[in-house]
């Protein structure tokens, strides 16, 4: 009887004691795996990369840390309050990128209020989950908000794995994704500010020179034309003297807005200095650049600037030049030729267009 009782005692003791030891150990191992995956993903982040590529890195870490194989990150677009698909893994990328979801203020508040407990879906989350299951072909979807300081940055949508899922790991990954999105946006904003003129918002002279060097080398390599338009505002000093420099600044802002709107997406408009503006026209010959220069002259001449109750007429002088396989001509020389053509327009009475090629022919 004693051996039987001993055997029974050992068996009961074993059944009772194993789960309390195994579960915390397994949970700790899973959490450690997730944290290590997050660490490695964070180490790969470089904010000079495009945001979708950064989020791919986060999703890769999510997969190795949680066994989630299908997920997508949607960011909130502040201007429209839409959730925009930006990056995914294990899903059809086209579907993710084409899925936009409008959020009302109430729905956004509900997502933020639930925080990490969005795993326990409430009314709106259930509707949202159903939408994503249909749009992204996910069998059993879960969502978790990406937030920073009670501000919704986006959401993480994922297909629940067959095994256990630890909420704390998802929360950590969602915070990392939110931080990544925020930091990448700030990096882009700072980088963009370094390329822009602070007054007009156009590209600055330094960036213009970089792009001109690139486009001119490209034109030489592929034997294509490239043109420059160089514009100077007529009698700008009189505007400053009459109305003050603050009014002059407003005047330049309005000219810059109108000037930049007149070009193709492949062209580049920039503020060169003071009241001088330039535009790079890739793959544009003499005829095309002349037509565009006259169109700019006409459009600006018809554009009245209203400032502090005063209606001001715009008058500009424009110089144009085209590179067409001229040997030995670099970007500095090309700008100088456009500048010379602009000064010739000044001499001819202002409010007109002059080509460098025509000046060169006349003086030859």
Residues acting as catalytic residues: 275
Q: Which two tokens stand for residue 9?
A: 């005692």
Q: Tokens 């002279």 — which residue?
A: 205
The two tokens of residue 62 are: 């999510």
Q: What are phi and psi of 155, to 5 degrees?
A: -140, 155
Alpha-carbon span 278 to 339, nearest angstrom? 10
- CB-based burial label for 358 (10 Å; 0-12, 13-18, 19+): middle
DSSP string, 21-42: HHHHHHHHHHHHHHHHHHHHHH
* Residue 129 to residue 140: CA distance in whole angstroms: 8
Question: What phi, psi does 328 have (nearest 5°)?
Answer: 80, 0
DSSP, residue by residue, 113-161: HHGGGGGS--HHHHHHHHHHHHHHT-SSEEEEEEEETTEEEEEEEEEPP
- Residue 294, CB-side half-sphere exposure with 13 Å CA sphere: 7
Q: How far apart are CA 250 and CA 243, in angstroms?
A: 11
How far is the C-alpha of 79 from the C-alpha of 240, rounded, in Å? 36
Distance of CA 23 to the CA centre of its chain: 45
Smallest CA-to-CA distance from 260 within 208, 217, 310, 306 is with 208
Asked if residues 282 and 211 have their Cβ atoms less than 8 Å apart, the reply is no
Which residue has tokens 């600044």?
A: 249
Specify the pairing of strand 353-355 against strand 316-323: parallel
């Amino acid at each position: 009887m004693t051996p039987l009782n001993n055997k029974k005692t050992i068996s009961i003791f074993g059944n009772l004691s194993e789960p309390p030891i195994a579960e915390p150990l397994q949970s700790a191992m899973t959490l450690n795996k997730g944290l290590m995956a997050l660490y490695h993903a964070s180490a790969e982040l470089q904010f000079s990369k495009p945001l979708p590529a950064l989020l791919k890195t986060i999703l890769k870490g999510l997969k190795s840390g949680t066994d989630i194989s299908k997920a997508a990150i949607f960011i909130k677009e502040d201007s429209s309050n839409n959730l925009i698909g930006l990056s995914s893994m294990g899903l059809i990328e086209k579907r993710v990128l084409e899925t936009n979801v409008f959020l009302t203020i109430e729905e956004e508040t509900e997502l933020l209020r639930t925080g990490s407990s969005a795993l326990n879906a409430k009314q709106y989350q259930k509707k949202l989950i159903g939408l994503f299951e249909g749009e992204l072909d996910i069998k059993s979807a879960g969502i978790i908000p990406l937030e920073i300081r009670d501000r919704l940055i986006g959401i993480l949508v994922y297909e629940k794995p067959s095994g256990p899922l630890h909420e704390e790991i998802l929360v950590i990954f969602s915070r990392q994704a939110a931080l990544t999105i925020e930091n990448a946006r700030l990096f882009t904003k700072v980088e963009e500010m370094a390329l822009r003129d602070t007054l007009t918002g156009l590209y600055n002279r330094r960036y213009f020179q970089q792009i001109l060097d690139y486009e001119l080398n490209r034109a030489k390599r592929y034997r294509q034309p490239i043109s420059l338009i160089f514009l100077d505002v007529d009698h700008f000093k009189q505007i400053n003297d009459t109305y003050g420099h603050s009014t002059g600044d407003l005047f330049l802002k309005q000219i810059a807005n109108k000037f930049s709107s007149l070009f193709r997406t492949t062209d580049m408009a920039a503020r060169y200095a003071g009241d001088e503006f330039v535009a790079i026209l890739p793959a544009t010959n003499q005829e095309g650049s002349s037509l565009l220069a006259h169109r700019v002259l006409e459009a600006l001449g018809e554009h009245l600037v209203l400032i502090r109750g005063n209606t001001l007429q715009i008058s500009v002088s424009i110089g144009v030049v085209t590179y067409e396989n001229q040997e030995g001509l670099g970007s500095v020389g090309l700008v100088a030729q456009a500048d010379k053509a602009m000064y010739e327009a000044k001499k001819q009475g202002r409010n007109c267009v002059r080509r460098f090629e025509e000046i060169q022919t006349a003086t030859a």
